[in-house]
Amino acid sequence: MDATSILEDAGFQVLEAMNVAQALDVLERHHPKVQLLFTDVQMPGGQDGFDLARQTAERWPHIAVVVASGRAAPRPGDLPQGATFISKPFSAEIVRQHVRDSMPDEKQPNMLKE
């Protein structure tokens, strides 16, 4: 399963973007309703998922941040405070647990709590 399917199965409505610029555009338009950013480190373009995570945390601190990668591990300063990192490959249960740990209970979809 990919992250999109895992998050949809957990009760999230997923908005997708292919690169940091698209993701920031989506967040700009939908940030009041967005509860979670789940991003891969590797993204096309000049910025990566660490950049997206930091910008999201700075601009919209209410959004929980989870970053995943099978190639890059975070170095000091890569992740914003409170963000979670998941190494690939990951299972659906690992993703759900990291998301549970990253989000306040009242913001979690009911299906995630089950």
Domain positions in the chain: 3-113
The CATH architecture to which 3-113 belongs is: 3-Layer(aba) Sandwich (3.40)
Instruction: Give residue 47's pLDDT.
Output: 96
Mean of per-residue pLDDT scores for the chain? 93
pTM: 0.92
What single DSSP character describes residue 114?
Answer: -
Residues of the chain under the 50 pLDDT cut: none
